[in-house]
Structure 1
Amino acid sequence: MRLHPRIAGFLGQALSHEFLAVQQYLVQSRLCRLWGWQDWAESFARESREELEHAGLLSDQLLRMGIAPSAGALRPSRPGRDLREMLDQDVAIEWSAVELYAEALDFSQRMRDERTASLFAQLLEDEKGHLVHLQETISSLGTHHGH
């Protein structure tokens, strides 16, 4: 099967997006650690590791297709000045991932690239799960005291 250039483009965009998310969550984890919020620091560090795993899966797929993975230049992270702002920034990142992966999944299916479609379906479900978790966390902030 010939590689459609748009599939390669989606994989490259996805890889860049995942590295942006790794950077975002890592910076937030380190900020929380500096502020003494150990639980939040661990939570953001876990998210960073999950996004790094996604980057690994995308890199594997690119390598299988004979393409050297390259995430390109990342935009600066926007960690937020407080917890609510951090979570709002993360919702924006996860939402853009959901949109990207839905479009990439649809295109991969239309091109009958089942392996890539399967990868994008997995990533889409993971990112939807992250989005739901973030939205639930934001909703619970109003009912809890502290950070």
Structure 2
Amino acid sequence: MQGDPEVIEFLNEQLTAELTAINQYFLHAKMQENFGWPKLAKYTRSESFDEMRHAERLTDRILFLEGLPNYQRLFHVRVGQTVTEMFQADRQIEVEAIDRLRRGIEVMRAKGDITSANIFEEILADEEHHIDYLDTQLELIEKLGEPLYISQLIEQPDS
């Protein structure tokens, strides 16, 4: 089925964002693991995999619409050096995604591509959930301070 070029471009732009997020979250998860924060690393790694599932759905849709998924492009990967910086960087990527998804939904509905709009709406719900999590973590860091927050992430190794 031949898709609208503007819809395919929105799908590809969001695909670029998802591919960028996969890399950013995965790197943050590996850094968190290295810092000795296994609980946080596990959560961040699962977010990376969620973004991979989003990328897969977008790829499938682009191909269905007879477009070419663009895997050669990435946005800037923001790497945090502290837990606060990681959360802020991850939050920024989510804010940008939410704005892009909302604009895309409008365009897709206007062009009559309800299926693509529904895919964007499902991804939007996931991104809103993630930004809520990040906001909560940043609020906790602000209230507790980063050292106390980090102390809650540390697990003792099994003996």
- TM (normalized to structure 1)? 0.93
Greater relative CO, 1 or 2 (CA 8 Å, sep 6+): 2
Equivalent positions of 1:49-128 (< 5 A) are 49-128=49-128
Q: Distance in 2 between matches of 1:127 and 1:146?
A: 23
What is the number of equivalent residue pairs in this alignment?
147
Q: Secondary structure at the match of 2:144?
A: coil
Q: Distance in 1 between matches of 2:107 and 2:63?
A: 20
- TM (normalized to structure 2)? 0.87
> Which structure has the larger Rg over C-alpha atoms?
2
Cα deviation per residue 1:69-89 (whole Å; 9 max; x = unaligned)?
Answer: 223322452221100000000
Q: Cα gap change, 1:26/1:73 in structure 2, threshold over 3 Å: closer, same or farther?
A: same
Cα contact 2:26–2:48 (8 A) shared by 1: yes
Q: Which residue of 2 aligns with 1:18?
A: 18
Cα deviation per residue 1:6-47 (whole Å; 9 max; x = unaligned)?
Answer: 101001001000000000000001111111111111111011
- Unmatched 5+ stretches in structure 1: none
1:143 aligns with 2:144: yes
- Unmatched 5+ stretches in structure 2: 151-159
The percentage of counterpart residues that share the same residue type is 26
Q: Bigger CA drift: 132-141 or 62-71? A: 62-71
Q: Cα gap change, 1:65/1:2 in structure 2, threshold over 3 Å: closer, same or farther?
A: closer
Query: Superposition RMSD on alpha carbons, in Å?
Result: 1.5
